[in-house]
Amino acid sequence: MNGPIRFVVFDCDGTLVDSQHGIVACMTLAFNDIGKGAPDAAAIRGIVGLSLDHAVAELAPSLSLAEQGAVVAGYKAAFRRSRETGSHGEALYPGAREAIEALEEAGYLLGVATGKSMRGLKAVLDQHGLARAFVTLQTADNAPSKPHPAMLRQAMQEAGAEAAETLMIGDTSFDMAMAVAAGAHPLGVAWGYHPVEALRQTGASDVLGHFDELMPWLAGREVAA
């Protein structure tokens, strides 16, 4: 797949924004609220990117379905409160805004595919004034959890892009596996929640160390093609 890329899809948590502290705090509270010990922070960071119900099932497979459902509900309530009070920020990673603006200026179509809810994603994009940049937003509300490719395929359909024209940028093995399954180009980032080696093992063609590297990477790929 060496044709030109014209559609760039970003993951959100761990790729565009650093939301780990809020996610860990809210997940810990949700487990504690049902009288269960919470997984450690590293384990919680490891499931970021999955849809919430899948994430809880991965973290606590021994819990009953009712208990898992209570954790999901508790997490949603805790995160909603944290956003309303501003107690947990979701800051853009350095260079994210500039990269998005550069891609727009260069004529790329942009999208987001995330395990967040649509409500949560729109809140983040509105907070940073970035909603207008994206032609499609895909969330866990309307697609199976990553790494299933449906979310990315829906994004490509809405953007009118072929898989060979699509670049998926993410920080987790779930993002890379989803891209591979959808036939898109998987590009990892090193500043998120999964180790670089895990990204490469699940298909990342390359891994960026900083957003500043994205436009040169795209330019170099076009020259090579």
In a domain? residue 145: yes
Tell me the percentage of the chain whose pLDDT exceeds 90.
78
**Domain membership flag for residue 177:** yes
Residue 11 among the catalytic residues: yes
3-state SS string for 37-93: CCCCHHHHHHCECECHHHHHHHHCCCCCHHHHHHHHHHHHHHHHHHHHHCCCCCEEC
Q: Check whether residue 172 and residue 75 sit in a common domain.
A: no
Residue 2: pLDDT band by 50, 70, 90 thresholds? Answer: low
In a domain, 46, yes or no: yes
Same structural domain, 210 and 101: yes
Q: Which amino acid is at 84?
A: E
- For residue 161, is pLDDT > 70? yes
- Do residues 11 and 55 both lie within one domain? no
Which domain CATH number covers 145?
A: 3.40.50.1000
Among the residue ranges 73-87, 130-144, 166-180, the one predicted with the least confidence is 73-87
The catalytic position among 11, 18, 171, 175 is 11
Kindly state whether residue 214 falls inside one of the protein's structural domains. yes
If one counts the domains in the chain, the total is 2
Range of the domain at 24: 20-85
> Is residue 2 in some structural domain?
no
